[in-house]
Amino acid sequence: MKPSPLFRLTFLLILFLTMSYCSEEKISPSGSGSVEGKVLDEEDLSPIANAEVTTSPPTHTVLTDSTGSFLLEELEVGDYNVIAQKRDYFSSSKAIKVNLNSTVHTIINLKKRDADEKLPEFSSLFYPEKEQQDVSVNVNISWQLTEPCDSTEFELKLYESGRLVDVDLENPTDTFALVNGLKFSATYLWQVSAENKAGKVYSDLRSFTTRSLPEDCIMYAKRVDDISQIFVTDTLLENNIQITHNNYHSWRPRVNEQKTKIAFLSTRDVTTHLYTMDIDGSNVEKVTDIPSGGYYSKGVGFSWLPNGEKLVFSLYNSLYTANYDGTGLTKLTSISEEKHFREVDWSPAGNKIVALALGKDYYDAEIMVMNPDGSDKEVLIGDMEGALANPVFSVDGNRILYTYDNSGFNSDKRRQLDARIYQYDLQTGDTTDLSANRKPAGTNDLAPGYTPDGGKIVFFNGKNTIGSRKDLWIMGADYTERHYRNRLIEDVEMGGL
């Protein structure tokens, strides 16, 4: 005898509660040590005063005293190159290992140059400038020599939290490097070396801090080398940054109100699960240990709670909440086993939940609202011919966006012919067609959502043929002043729709 659906659901929930949760390994500082040493003339071993000593990865820079001595303190445990340089000498370095609560002793010998050999010399023209703030996450790092020389070759080292960022100069003689996709609100250290026949010199160690996540940020997914990656942009496309750089698919990103975490779907563990990560793509946490299930679900039913620490998501005919790291699983509410939740959204004020429920028939759909504890469910929209989908609250919580196939078309392949964006006013009960007289014929408007300030609506549009390309569009949220409808990004991932 086959197990009943209730037995299978109970078994899956037990697995959900008992299986261990997975997260990316986090690296934390493991203490510090020091490096003490001398810089000497290679020929006669005399001390070299005022030699510049620094490290790679970069920490800080010191000058030797009259005895050639230097001390680099409070270096995190790890491997370094200690670099010494001074005008009229060839630079040199020593590989050392910093151990916990101990001091490493080293001697660096410098070889004197011939008087007619001229080392490269950096000018004061650097970008970004020292400790510059609000730098673009797509930045053109540049430098200059006091006397340009075609035979000089450069190497740029860029670090974030002690990690070397991969930067390649297109040409080693270039005095600039375009670096894309840096993290938001992150501090970077950078240094350039210049080398010619006379030797190698290093620029001062410099730092800059990137700008914060745009207030009007828009998250989307797009394929890069046939892998779905997550991007963030703004309404003017002034920032368009790839956040993930994975070898597995990630899509349907949703940022919390605090702009500290992104929830998304991914095949990171082969099957589709719900994950969270920091806004720079780090600290990935697995929220669900089994794929979200339900009629036509494909895992799309999840939303952030207003506190930004928890998520609500659907599993068959129930809604659950959990912390962003997957702990604290709590069953919120259930509906009849004849219907399954597919999509859910929590109002910004935290006082209402809107959800889409589907039956075995894809077109047997209804949009309902309920209290935060799942009580007092009220069906707002239902018993419609044609596909109903994508309910989401406005910023003030007084309106709900959703999509409906205005043609009323039914198909075994769930094709839609004329899906439009509608706005339901919870206070008046009025419904407004926001796609009317604007949407190109033969296309569908799908998966709408308000921008963080509530002034615009972002949505997908594509031809109504199955498997057609979808583009990301934006339009004004106020129908009475809807003076534009612009395409933002071409060929994006819908994610489970």
- In contact, 52 and 325? CB cutoff 8 Å: no
pLDDT at residue 7, as a whole number: 37
Domains, the chain, ordered by start: 33-110 (2.60.40.1120), 122-210 (2.60.40.1220), 213-492 (2.120.10.30)
Model pLDDT, residue 478: 74
The radius of gyration of the chain from alpha carbons, rounded to an integer in Å, stands at 29
Percentage of residues of the chain with pLDDT beyond 90:
64
Query: Virtual CA dihedral for 88, 94, 100, 102, nearest 10 degrees?
Result: -60
* pLDDT-wise least confident of 343-352, 356-365, 410-419, 479-488: 479-488
More confident position, 205 or 209: 209
For the cut 70, the answer to whether the pLDDT of residue 459 exceeds it is yes
Query: What would the pLDDT profile of 144-189 be if each residue is shown by its tens digit?
Result: 999 877 789 999 999 987 788 888 888 999 999 999 878 888 899 9
Percent of the residues in the chain that have a pLDDT greater than 70, as a whole number = 91
Q: Is the pTM of this model over 0.75?
A: no
CB 230 within 8 A of CB 251: yes
pLDDT range class, residue 240, cuts 50, 70, 90: confident
Predicted confidence (pLDDT) per residue in 385-440, tens digit: 899 999 999 999 999 999 999 999 988 888 999 999 999 999 999 999 999 888 99
Structure-model confidence comparison of residues 25 and 293, the more confident one: 293
pLDDT at 30: 60
